[in-house]
């Protein structure tokens, strides 16, 4: 049985991909990155995906992440991408471009599944909540290894606004908040989500996980909170895993 698949992670700044060994979640080659076209729509982004996949001459199944809600390959919304992604059958469009079987999944779901299987959540029984802090706030819930897709906690209301408008890492990285101000807000939001869902473990991912020790000094969450360990490979690994999943059976 061939246990290799290809994962592509579409982010706000880069489209990144690599072949993945699904037996251990390890990238089989250094990932390829092409800057995300910012002034185009989905077609330009799909061409970047093709560029990444072609660089490896890959002709097997491909999993692709999108920073938005995805049901059976159809993108319902992607508020942090330019152009019109709403109601787009991204899986069908990508299959036409790549000429292989394609699964499309939410970016945080992919990263969360990979962390639960091979990273910070490996071997943890019960409910794992993964939160990614970046341009937005992504979320994933994994119960005993099974993903509940499209949880989108970043859009839950907190302090009269969407949680990601209050505590996304970009408010510190490109915006007005100092690290301490952002970390205190992130702590409030993590506490709120943990209070509602009572997870057994919270994993913090996204670019900010590199600074987890600084964030940890501000955390008062009664649940164990740990940094993601797969770093920026998690989306690629999770996308590759979901080529074998039931929910995007295109």
154 near ligand BGC, judged by CB under 6 A: yes
149 near ligand BGC, judged by CB under 6 A: no
- Least distance in angstroms from the C-beta of 108 to ligand BGC: 4
Cβ neighbour number for residue 35 with a 10 Å cutoff? 9
95 near ligand BGC, judged by CB under 6 A: no
When binding is defined by CB under 6 A, the residue of 17, 138, 149, 227 that contacts ligand BGC is 138
67 near ligand BGC, judged by CB under 6 A: yes
When binding is defined by CB under 6 A, the residue of 17, 42, 121, 136 that contacts ligand BGC is 136
C-beta of residue 128 within 8 angstroms of C-beta of residue 203: yes
When binding is defined by CB under 6 A, the residue of 42, 63, 68, 227 that contacts ligand BGC is 68
Tokens of 13: 């700044």
Window contacting ligand BGC (CB under 6 A); options: 40-48, 66-74, 190-198, 215-223? 66-74
List the interface residues with ligand BGC, window 205-244 (CB under 6 A).
none
132 near ligand BGC, judged by CB under 6 A: yes
In sequence order, the β-bridge partners of residue 148 are: 141
Number of residues that bind ligand BGC (CB under 6 A): 14
In sequence order, the β-bridge partners of residue 146 are: 143
Q: Given the rule CB under 6 A, which residues bind ligand BGC?
A: 67-69, 79-80, 106-108, 132, 136, 138, 152, 154, 164
């Amino acid at each position: 049985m061939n246990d290799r698949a290809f994962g592509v992670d579409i982010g706000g700044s880069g489209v990144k991909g690599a072949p993945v060994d699904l037996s251990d979640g390890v990238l089989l080659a250094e990932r390829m990155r092409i800057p995300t076209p910012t002034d185009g729509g989905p077609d330009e982004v799909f061409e970047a995906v093709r560029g990444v996949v072609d660089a490896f001459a890959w002709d097997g199944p491909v999993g692709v992440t999108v920073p938005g809600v995805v049901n059976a390959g159809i993108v319902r919304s992607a508020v942090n991408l330019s152009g019109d992604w709403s109601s787009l059958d991204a899986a069908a469009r990508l299959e036409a471009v790549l000429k292989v079987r394609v699964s499309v999944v939410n970016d945080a779901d992919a990263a969360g599944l990979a962390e639960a299987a091979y990273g910070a959540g490996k071997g943890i029984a019960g409910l794992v909540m993964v939160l990614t802090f970046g341009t937005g706030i992504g979320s994933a819930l994994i119960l005993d290894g099974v993903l509940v897709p499209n949880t989108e906690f970043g859009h839950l209301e907190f302090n009269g606004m969407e949680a990601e408008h209050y505590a996304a890492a970009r408010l510190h990285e490109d915006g007005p908040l100092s690290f301490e101000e952002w970390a205190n807000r992130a702590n409030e939001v993590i506490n709120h989500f943990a209070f509602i869902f009572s997870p057994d473990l919270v994993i913090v991912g996204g670019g900010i996980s590199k600074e987890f020790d600084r964030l940890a000094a501000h955390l008062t969450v009664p649940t164990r909170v740990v940094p993601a360990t797969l770093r920026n490979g998690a989306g690629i690994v999770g996308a590759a895993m979901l080529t074998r999943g039931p929910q995007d059976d295109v």
